[in-house]
C-alpha cells in the first residue's frame, strides 16, 4: 500500500516539476515575444517618420521640377517666336535656376 502511495507522490512531483518547467518556458517565450514586438513597433514608428520626411522632400522636388518645366516651356516659346519674327523680345524670361 505504501508503495503505491510513494509511487503516486513521485509521479505527482515529476508532473509538477514538468508543469513548472513548461510554465517557465512559456513565460520566457512570452517575454521574448513582447520585447520583439516593442522593438518592431519602435522600428515601424521610425520608418513612418522617415517615410513622411521622404514624402515631403519628394513633394518639394516635384514642385521644383514643375516650376522648371514651366519656365522651360516659356523660354522655348520665346525662342521659337524670336526665330519666326527675327526679333528678340525686350524682356526675355530668366533661364531656369
Q: What is the pLDDT of residues 7-62, one digit of tens each?
A: 999 999 999 999 999 999 999 999 999 999 999 999 999 999 999 999 999 999 99
- Report residue 70 as a C-alpha cell: 514651366
**Residue 96: how many other CB atoms lie within 10 Å:** 13
- For the beta carbon of residue 78, count every other beta carbon within 10 angstroms: 15
Q: What is the pLDDT of residue 84?
A: 81
pLDDT confidence band for 91 (50 / 70 / 90) = low
pLDDT of 79 strictly over 90: no
What pLDDT is stored for residue 25 in this prediction?
97
Residues 6+ apart with CB under 8 A from 27: none
Strands (E), 9-96: none
Amino acid at each position: 500500500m505504501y508503495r503505491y502511495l510513494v509511487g503516486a507522490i513521485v509521479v505527482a512531483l515529476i508532473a509538477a516539476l514538468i508543469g513548472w518547467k513548461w510554465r517557465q518556458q512559456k513565460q520566457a517565450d512570452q517575454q521574448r515575444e513582447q520585447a520583439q514586438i516593442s522593438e518592431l513597433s519602435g522600428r515601424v514608428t521610425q520608418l513612418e517618420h522617415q517615410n513622411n520626411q521622404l514624402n515631403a522632400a519628394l513633394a518639394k522636388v516635384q514642385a521644383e521640377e514643375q516650376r522648371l518645366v514651366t519656365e522651360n516651356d516659356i523660354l522655348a516659346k520665346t525662342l521659337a517666336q524670336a526665330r519666326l519674327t527675327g526679333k528678340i523680345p525686350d524682356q526675355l524670361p530668366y533661364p531656369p535656376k
